[in-house]
Chains A and B, each alone.
Chain A
Amino acid sequence: MRIDQIGGMIKAFPAMPGAALKLLTLTDAPSATVQQIEDVLRQDPGLTANVLKLANSAYFGIPSKVGSVRQAVMLLGLKRLVQMVVATCASAIIDRGVPGYDLPAGELWRHSLAVSVAAKGLAGELKIQAADEVFTAGLLHDVGKLVLGQFVQEEYTDIKRALAQGMTFEAAEAAVLGIDHAEIGARVLAQWSLPENIVHAVRWHHAPEKFGTVDIMLDVVHVANMLCLMIGIGVGREGLLHEPSPVVTRRLGLEPPHLEKVASQTLQWVSELSQALAVG
């Protein structure tokens, strides 16, 4: 059965480095101390080196040299630091081509970065407060494509037939393969034991109104994903075969100028962030 094959691939999906996951769990706890962060990083010298390189990169613009993890946490803040550590780890998993979706090497990674920065930018433009995890949720929202790509490739004739009936791309995935990339992504992240709000944002990023609760983080990831595809970042075979939710548009108070202002800045944000991450 196809769905069993997909389930097997989810189980075999690469894990995040343990240290990165521990850091993510730590930032979830309000009582996390710098000492705990140092303890986690000490177990992974490679990650520590990356943290220091990132902290000293032009992206953060810190004028003095950052020489220790303690200093990096003080200057960047715990959450921002963890986000960047997770991003360096995620790049090892996401930064590759996905033939089923017609995404050449690097394009899914660029799309992931773009949705992260655009989601953050959108919250800023709308003057709303989204959870800090919005960056990580944006970064990981399409992880499921890495599993589903091969099956989309194999069953594309049937998917095309479903699309011709007016389905969205993710609905066609579910109709033909029994599961869509958003659900697969959520299952991978749940397996990694990521915070629940990130898992939900990934699960419902194409259908936010189907999630029982209103979550601003999910809403902005939904809009940012659509926007990044529209401006050609990571748009492959699926094209623009998605439907932006009118419910989300209304509850965010989203207007064309918000979208267009964020679009005008996204490419620059992506290139700054990917340069910072490239130092790792």
Chain B
Amino acid sequence: MNITVLVGDMKTGRTGDILVTHALGSCLGLMVFDPMAKVGGLLHAMLPLSSINPEKARGNPAMFVDTGVPLLFKSVYEMGGAKERLIVKAAGCGNPMGKNEIFKIGERNYTVLKKLLWKNNILLKAESVGGTASRTIHFEVDTGGVLLSCNGTKGPL
């Protein structure tokens, strides 16, 4: 079944499911997959830190990287995923052109992600981050295969 993950949203799936998210601009798309248990999850987080709007974060932790990433891992563990087997991939975190730091939400999203993963001893297996393109992800939970569509081209991540 195709399961769509909206902006500020997180979904998990099992064999037979394809987790899909569209139009990753500066947002972070994070995929977590356990090849043994064949479970996985996809997060589409918009902003780096929940402290910007704590009320929103209470209702929707997936909107923020600092609350969404723990939620994603916890949800995959609850489905039988084990930390030592997890394959983690990241996409998105783009930025507009120019040097205007204020608009580099994508960069800030990526920084918060890397800090969280580093603190928890987790490495990214693959990533396609930065740049100006909008990215779309199809994550096949059966195989863990990730198809990245970007600028009219498609390829595995």
The residues of A with any CB-CB pair to B shorter than 8 Å are 168, 226-227, 229-233, 235-237, 239-246, 249, 254-257, 259-261, 263-265, 267
Complex interface bits, B94-109 against A, C-beta within 8 A gives 1, otherwise 0: 1111111011011010
* Stretch from B17-25, B35-43, B121-129 contacting the other chain: B17-25
3 closest residue pairs by CB, A with B: A232-B23, A243-B98, A264-B53
Sample (24) of A-B pairs whose CB atoms are under 8 Å apart: A230-B94, A230-B95, A230-B103, A231-B27, A232-B7, A232-B23, A233-B7, A233-B23, A237-B134, A237-B151, A237-B152, A239-B132, A239-B133, A240-B95, A240-B97, A240-B132, A241-B96, A243-B96, A243-B98, A244-B96, A256-B102, A256-B105, A260-B105, A263-B47
A231-B27, A267-B7 known; A240 and B134 CB under 8 Å? Answer: yes
How near does chain A come to B53, taking the closest CB pair, in angstroms? 4
Q: Please tell me if the beta carbons of B94 and A264 are within 8 angstroms of each other in the complex.
A: no
B8 in the interface (beta carbon within 8 A)? yes
How near does chain A come to B46, taking the closest CB pair, in angstroms? 5
Q: Which of B1-42 contact A (CB under 8 A)?
A: 7-8, 22-27
B63 in the interface (beta carbon within 8 A)? yes
Classify chain B's interface size.
Answer: 20 to 34
B56 in the interface (beta carbon within 8 A)? yes
Which chain A residues border B105 with CB–CB below 8 Å? 230, 256, 259-260, 263
Q: Please tell me if the beta carbons of B103 and A239 are within 8 angstroms of each other in the complex.
A: no
Which chain B residues border A245 with CB–CB below 8 Å? 100
A231 to B96, CA, bound (A): 11
A273 to B106, CA, bound (A): 27
B152 — nearest CB in chain A belongs to which residue? A237
B108 — nearest CB in chain A belongs to which residue? A256
Which chain B residues border A168 with CB–CB below 8 Å? 97
